[in-house]
Structure 1
C-alpha cells in the first residue's frame, strides 16, 4: 500500500504523463480536424443535433440502400458507388475487407445485386456526430429475398460518414454479427370442419 509520499509521486507521474501525452494536441485537433493524410481540413458548418441529425442519417441510409437494393441497374450501382469515399475501408465478418471503393463495388456487383435486398430494422438506427468530420451511423439490418419475400438474415453495422461541403460519403464501414433469422412458426392446420 502506498503512503502519502508514494501517492504524491504516483499522482505527479500521472500529471507529467498527461502533460506529455498527445491529449492536449488531440483537443486542438478536434477544433481543426485532419484529413486522411493529416492535413487540416477546412472548417465545416455545424452538424444538426438531436432529431435533425437522426433524420439526416436516416436519409443517407435510405439513399445508400435504395441504390444497393436496385444495383442490377448500372445507374443505381453507380449511384451506390458515389456514396463511398475512394479509399473506403469496409470490414465484413463473412466477406472480409475491401480497401477501396472499386473493390467494394465489385464485391457488391458479384455478391449482392439481384440476390437479396437490405432492410433497416425499425428503431435500431442511432447517429452520433463527429465534430469537424461527419457522423457515425449504427444500427441493425436484415436481408430478404429481392422480390419482397421473406427475410432470412440479420446483422449489425457501423458506418462513418464524412461530410465534404454538401456531399456525404462513407469512409469506414463495419458489417458484423450476421446470423440467420429463425424460421417463422408454421401455422397449425385448421381443424376439420372449420
Structure 2
C-alpha cells in the first residue's frame, strides 16, 4: 500500500537538481563574464591603465603555474611576467564552447577551458593551451587565487579559428 502524503512530501526533493542547475547556469554566466573582462584588460595591457585593471582581478597572493614559464607566487611577479612577455605582443581568446565552471561550496568556483594566443603583429593565432582558474568570492568581490596554464602547443588552423 502506498502512502499518498509521503509521495507529496518527496516532490520538493525532485526540484533540487533543477534548482542546482539554475544556480550553476548563473555561476557559469558570472564566471564567463569575469573571464572575458580579465582578458579584455589583458589584451590591452600595453596601456598601463589596462594592466592595472587586469591586476585587480587577481588576489595579491595569486599562484600562477605555467608549464613552459614556471611559477610565480605573487600578483606583482605575475604582472611583471605579463608586462615583459605578453603586453603588446599577444592577445588571448577563449576557445568557443570550452569553458566549464564548477562551484566550490563556501568559496567560489573552478573555471577550466582552452584558449588560443594571437600574435599582435601578424594577427595569427598560433598558440593553444588549456587553463584552470580558481575564483574566490569574498565580500561580494571575485578574485583569482590560482591559475594553471598548461598543454601549450601549436594550434592547428581549425583549432586556431583560421581558414
Q: Same fold (TM over 0.5)?
A: yes
Return structure 1 stretches of 4+ with deviation > 4 angstroms.
none
- The structure richer in strand per residue is 2
Structure 1 unaligned segments of length 5 or more: list them. 1-47, 188-194
Structure 2 unaligned segments of length 5 or more: list them. 1-21
Deviation per residue, 1:155-192 (Å, 9 max, x gap): 000000011122111000100000011357xx9xxxxx
* Structure-1 separation of matches of 2:59 and 2:65: 14
Question: Which residue does the alignment assign to 2:8?
Answer: none
Q: Which stretch has the larger CA shift, 140-149 or 82-91? A: 140-149
Superposition TM-score, scaled by structure 2 size: 0.81
What CA RMSD, in Å, does the superposition of the two structures yield over aligned residues? 1.9
> CA shift at 1:49, angstroms?
1.8
Residue 109 (1) aligns with residue 106 (2): no
Superposition TM-score, scaled by structure 1 size: 0.68
* Structure-1 separation of matches of 2:79 and 2:54: 8
Aligned residues: 139
Residue 55 (1) aligns with residue 29 (2): yes
Deviation per residue, 1:72-120 (Å, 9 max, x gap): 0101000111111011100000100000000000000000000010000
Residue 167 (1) aligns with residue 141 (2): yes
Q: Residue 81 of structure 2: SS of its match in structure 1?
A: helix
